């Protein structure tokens, strides 16, 4: 038995309340080392206070191997305990029949009666507090998000266009400083189109006053940018969206602020004497920088910035005055405009104690509020239930792209990576993730796929079946192209040709499938399996008597496939061609 490969951590993603009465327990073991795991569990006080009761360790619960990642096997069991307090340990059997018990005191022999009868031997969940259940708003599980970059979605009011606004042209290649006149009236004009597509969540890139087209250099957090509209128009949009069953998420840029903000201008004017001097990380006064050829970037700045961008000085969020200022902003847009969620820009560079305050303040206003962090790497420290609800799941979807489009991962490699990612978080956390294939920060998925629409459809279908909420970047439903920022921010294509309309029809059908079967996809037990010889991947979701089965051909040859599809690509006479997929649902 490989003892070094056996691991469990109490009160974490390996032991957590799934609901107020059901607890999920996980164990990690070296792959293919352990053949059986039994969970010994019960009320710890029963061992010495109730000699009339049977010893709970004599009535174990079998654990199920749910995932493997190429290094480890992951086991899980769902259990209840009427007394709402739990002691537990693991009885392991290896390939040779050897047995050990793994508990809080380490490894013990199954025959060690003294230790088995000692409540302090076991891992413990002292008491199931309702607050321990991870905050997972039910509406999020049902949501298909649609990301809008406001300046490029639709120009509904030409009277508020910035000076030098360019003609609306989806084929253009935008420069970093270009404006095309997109605004909130344009969004209102197309709310029925979004409803028809089937999305029920809108994620907006920043709407607040700022000099740039992207608005991540905030000048005034309390004002809608005049080129987008005003507060009254924004409120109208929120009301109309809610009437259509569409939730709204805004972008909170709290890591940094724009250099045109009054606070930073005060620092530039008064230096160390400024009342805002401690609002920033100024390493040497005066705050200066040496411009480079690309004026957006700089070297030798005497203050900390986002990236190397001197126009975005970093806020000192450890300062209570800064915290109070940002929290007041966050509460203002929830309280006054009834937004449903915040997406938190550069969330990993802001200290945890601020996000805990933020979490509590938002849920005090709306108990089903959704808090989404922008984190591009493993996000365990932020996803323990007291900070974020989910994160932009770039690690997860990046693996999908690496396999299905770039062929840098084998099908087994993809299964391994996805399994490892899923086991980093609680099941309800995985259901809250924001699954994004392209965005304002990445090349568009059609460009990544070199214009191969079949690959894009296969990748979208695969992603829509994963735990978490799928997100459509504006124009992806029409197969829009674009390299990395700023080319991925082209004006929306409102005059699609036949090829674009075909992609739209597919995305519409995929969203309809996801919406109709959201509970099966969000809550069903997930199974991922690679086919032999790198031929493809099989996904299964099981919930009660209903099962979804999907086969994705990632290889070079056709596969035999007898599934009766709800939606498919490349299936002909029970043969599934390369780049094809089949999704079937029984029950």
Cα 114–chain centre separation? 46
Residues 380 and 341 in one domain: yes
Residues 364 and 508 in one domain: yes
Residues 236 and 342 in one domain: yes
314-332 average pLDDT score: 97
Residues 493 and 364 in one domain: yes
Where does the pLDDT of residue 52 fall: very low under 50, low under 70, confident under 90, or very high at 90 and above? confident
Q: Which of 384 and 331 is assigned the larger pLDDT?
A: 331
Percentage of residues in the chain having pLDDT higher than 70: 99
Residues 569 and 499 in one domain: no
What is the model's pLDDT at position 239? 98
What is the model's pLDDT at position 292? 77
Residue 137, domain member (yes or no): no
**pLDDT digits 0-9 by tens, 153-166:** 999 999 999 999 99
Residues 122 and 261 in one domain: no
Residues 175 and 92 in one domain: no
Examine the residue annotation and report whether 374 is marked as an active-site residue of this protein.
yes
Residues 430 and 333 in one domain: yes
Structural domain including 288 reads 256-315
Of 424, 398, 403, 422, the residue nearest 413 (C-alpha):
403
Rounded (10°) angle between helices 320-337 and 352-365: 30
Angle at 454 between CA 192 and CA 489, to 5 degrees: 50
Q: Of 13, 345, 395, 427, which one is the catalytic site residue?
A: 345
Residue 139, domain member (yes or no): no
Q: What is the 3-state secondary structure (H, E, C) of 413-475?
A: HHHHHHHHHHCCCCHHHHCCCEEECCCCCCCCHHHHCCCCHHHHHHHHHHHHCCCCEEEEECC
Q: Residue 80 is part of a domain; what is its CATH number? A: 2.60.40.10
What is the model's pLDDT at position 539? 98
Q: Of 91, 251, 259, 374, which one is the catalytic site residue?
A: 374
DSSP string, 467-514: SSEEEEETTGGGT----STTGGGPPP-SS--HHHHHHHHHHHHHHHHH
**pLDDT digits 0-9 by tens, 453-480:** 999 999 999 999 999 999 999 999 999 9
Examine the residue annotation and report whether 43 is marked as an active-site residue of this protein.
no
73-96 average pLDDT score: 95
Residues 180 and 280 in one domain: no
What number of CA atoms fall less than 13 Å from residue 359's CA on the CB side? Answer: 21
What is the model's pLDDT at position 456? 98
**pLDDT digits 0-9 by tens, 119-143:** 999 999 988 876 555 778 999 999 9
Domain total in the chain: 4
**pLDDT digits 0-9 by tens, 190-240:** 999 999 999 999 999 999 999 999 999 999 999 999 999 999 999 999 999
Residue 215 tokens read as: 């608005």
**pLDDT digits 0-9 by tens, 252-267:** 999 999 999 999 999 9
Average predicted confidence (pLDDT) for the chain: 95
Q: Residue 547 is part of a domain; what is its CATH number? A: 2.60.40.1180
What stretch of H or E contains 264?
A: helix 262-270
Residues 192 and 124 in one domain: no
pTM of this structure: 0.95
Of 178, 182, 186, the residue nearest 161 (C-alpha):
182
């Amino acid at each position: 038995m490989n003892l070094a490969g056996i691991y469990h951590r109490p009160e974490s993603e390996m032991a957590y309340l799934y609901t107020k009465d059901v607890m999920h327990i996980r164990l990690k073991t070296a792959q293919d080392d352990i053949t059986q795991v039994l969970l010994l569990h019960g009320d710890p006080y029963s061992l010495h206070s109730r000699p009339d009761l049977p010893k709970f360790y004599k009535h174990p619960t079998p654990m199920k191997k749910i995932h493997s990642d190429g290094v480890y096997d992951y086991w899980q069991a769902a259990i209840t305990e009427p007394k709402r307090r739990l002691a537990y340990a693991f009885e392991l059997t290896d390939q040779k029949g050897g047995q050990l018990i793994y508990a809080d005191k380490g490894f013990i022999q199954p025959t060690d009666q003294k230790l088995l009868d000692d409540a302090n031997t076991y891992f413990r969940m002292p008491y199931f507090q309702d607050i321990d259940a991870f905050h997972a708003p039910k509406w999020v599980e049902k949501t298909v998000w649609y990301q809008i970059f406001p300046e490029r979605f639709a120009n509904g009011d030409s009277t508020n266009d910035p000076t030098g606004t360019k003609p609306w042209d989806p084929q253009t290649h935008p420069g970093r400083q270009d404006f095309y006149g997109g605004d909130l009236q344009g969004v209102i004009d197309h709310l029925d189109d979004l409803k028809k597509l089937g999305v029920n969540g809108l994620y907006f890139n920043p709407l607040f006053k700022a000099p740039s087209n992207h608005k991540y250099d905030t000048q005034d957090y309390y004002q809608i940018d005049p080129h987008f509209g005003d507060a009254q128009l924004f409120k109208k949009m929120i009301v109309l969206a809610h009437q259509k069953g569409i939730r709204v998420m805004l972008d909170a840029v709290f890591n940094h602020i724009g250099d045109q903000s009054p606070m930073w201008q005060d620092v530039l004017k008064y230096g160390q004497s400024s009342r805002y001097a401690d609002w920033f990380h100024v390493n040497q006064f005066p705050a200066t920088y040496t411009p480079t050829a690309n004026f957006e970037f700089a070297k030798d700045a005497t203050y900390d910035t986002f990236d190397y961008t001197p126009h975005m000085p970093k806020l000192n969020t450890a300062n209570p005055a800064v915290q109070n200022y940002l929290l007041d902003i966050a509460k203002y847009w929830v309280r006054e405009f009834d937004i449903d969620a915040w997406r938190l820009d550069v969330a990993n560079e802001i200290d945890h104690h601020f996000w805990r305050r933020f979490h509590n303040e938002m849920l005090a206003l709306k108990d089903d509020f959704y808090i989404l962090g922008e984190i591009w790497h493993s996000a365990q420290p932020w996803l323990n239930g007291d900070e974020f609800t989910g994160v932009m799941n770039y690690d997860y979807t990046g693996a999908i792209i690496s396999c299905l489009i770039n062929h840098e991962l084998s099908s087994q490699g993809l299964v391994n990576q996805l399994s490892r990612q899923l086991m980093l978080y609680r099941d309800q956390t995985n259901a809250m993730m924001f699954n994004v294939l392209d965005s304002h920060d990445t090349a568009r998925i059609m460009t990544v796929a070199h214009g191969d629409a079949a690959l894009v459809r296969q990748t979208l279908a695969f992603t829509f079946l994963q735990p978490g909420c799928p997100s459509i970047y504006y124009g992806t439903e029409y197969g829009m192209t674009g390299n990395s920022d700023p080319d991925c921010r082209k004006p929306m294509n409102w005059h699609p040709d036949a090829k674009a309309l075909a992609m739209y029809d597919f995305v519409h059908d995929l969203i309809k499938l996801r919406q109709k079967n959201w509970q099966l996809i969000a809550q069903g037990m997930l199974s991922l399996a690679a086919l032999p010889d790198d031929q493809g991947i099989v996904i299964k979701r099981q919930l009660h008597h209903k099962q979804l089965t999907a086969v994705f051909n990632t290889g070079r040859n056709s596969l035999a496939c007898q599934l009766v599809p709800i939606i498919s690509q490349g299936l002909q006479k029970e043969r599934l061609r390369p780049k094809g997929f089949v999704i079937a649902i029984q029950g």
